[in-house]
Amino acid sequence: MRGAGVVKQAMRRRDFLVGLAAAASAAACGSAAPTGSAARASLGSQTGSAAVGASFPHGRLVDWRITRWRADPWALGSYSYLAPGASSSTRRTLARPVGDRLFFAGEATDGDHPATVHGALASGRRAAAEVVANAPAGPVVVVGAGVAGLGAARDLMAAGRTVVVVEARDRIGGRVWSVDVGDAVVDLGGSWLHGLRDNPITGIAESLGIELVRTDYDDALLFDADGSPLSWSALDDQYEAVDELLGSSVSTSSMAAAAAELRGRFTGAGLRYLEYVLASEVEHWYAASVDDMSFATTRDGGPSRGGDAIPRTSYRPIVDWLAKGLDVRLGEPVSAIRATDAEVTVVTDAGPHDGAAAVVTLPLGVLKAGVVEFDPVLPSSKRAAIEGLGMGVMDKVVLRFDEAFWPTNTDLFSYASEPPGQYVEWYNAVPWTDRPILVGFNAGRPADEIESWSDDETLDLALGTVGMIRW
């Protein structure tokens, strides 16, 4: 059993977790890079790395994928968190319409379930309802074909509006990106359904006949830095300390000073175990370092009930269902959004799209970068909200082997790494792919650092970790 208390209640952010994606929407600016380019993700079958086919202590690697969400120009990160000074009201400000023509959606705008796929969907539906209630009659332009954008467009079309969706990428889904790994399909972005009981995507999956494979976090196995098995009880002091940290304040102030004080209590292996608990139970859920987030982050959003699960088919058929019947224009990066008293014009590389209103589902990272021009400029409160929220990063490495050499009846393997924070979590993908696949995660500052590495350097670290563990 893993640690209890506040840590045990960690909000399972794995929806957006991992990778390049942006469920909110991935339309944006600039010129498009080819899908699968090194700037976004590396696809092992296309790069010819020497690692493919090479044997190592446990088996032979036959395929791989590496994500780089921070470098993805249409996402610039994985999902949002509350930086020091921000609160749930910051999200509400970001969500607020500008006049009766400009509306906003995306996971960063959802106060109930931010940083999740169903939070993105809910935000799109909320924005669609606002358009129907408040915008002038006429066509609507939706910026972004991620889950938020597709959800908004679907509801608007059902309400009788003419809708066009413009998308920078050459695919739909945004930060939800399902790719083939041989004859298996793996999500490089959003993977999980969190809180199955109150999750609207649960009903969609059931209606499509998609099996949802539950994740058992409590059955996780823990390994020390040298790969040897480690008892969870060896980390009791560290779990209690992190519980104390997370329960010590409800303010929007930074965790940095409190985390530094916590680190001062431990030395040697004890300090490494503390860093593991911080990484696994906090940083991997919020995609950011504890030194970069506020105390309010861990209380951001509403309850998640019913457990978590991964669609056996991946998210692909769910995203396809959301997009069915919609007019989606792919390969149209947005450079400007101009609103007047008479209309809204969304300018893309393919030309302008005019409408009575626009729903903007640009990822927070793209909004923060300022690569899309708003004319007139957004209100100061909106700009402050964009600046005040943080955009985290969660990256994956997907490793497919010739056979499984790990316990396939266990969902999660944890690793108290040295240096701290590198590939501290590995998920067994056999239950939902029926193929010998492991998925490793990096988040926050370690993920940002590793994104600058070459594919071979990243694979060396990942395979070195997997090879060291005494399964």
**Hey, where are the domains in the chain?**
80-174+316-390
What pLDDT score does 44 carry? 47
Q: Which pLDDT tens digit goes with each residue over 179-224?
A: 999 999 999 999 999 999 999 999 999 999 999 999 999 999 999 9
Which residues, in sequence order, are CB contacts of 71 under 8 Å at separation 6+? Answer: 39, 40, 451
Domain topology for 80-174+316-390: FAD/NAD(P)-binding domain (3.50.50)
In this prediction the pTM is 0.91
Secondary structure, 3-state, 322-384: HHCCCCEECCCCEEEEEECCCCEEEEECCEEEEECEEEECCCHHHHHHCCCEEECCCCHHHHH
pLDDT exceeds 50 at position 32: no
Closest by Cα among 102, 117, 100 to 359: 102
Q: Are 399 and 391 in contact (CB under 8 A)?
A: no
pLDDT exceeds 70 at position 452: yes
What pLDDT score does 42 carry? 64
- Provide the token pair at 393: 């990063």
Maximum Cα–Cα distance across the chain: 67
Task: Write phi, then psi, for 204 (nearest 5 degrees).
Answer: -65, -45
Beta strand ranges found along 6-113 (DSSP E) = 41-43, 55-56, 59-67, 79-82, 102-104
The confidence band for 54, taking pLDDT boundaries of 50, 70 and 90, is low
Between 408 and 28, the more confident residue is 408
Q: Report the run of H or E that residue 246 belongs to, with start and end.
A: helix 236-247
Q: Which pLDDT tens digit goes with each residue over 103-116?
A: 999 999 999 999 99
What is the Cα–Cα distance from 81 to 300, expressed in whole angstroms?
Answer: 8
The confidence band for 1, taking pLDDT boundaries of 50, 70 and 90, is very low
The confidence band for 18, taking pLDDT boundaries of 50, 70 and 90, is very low
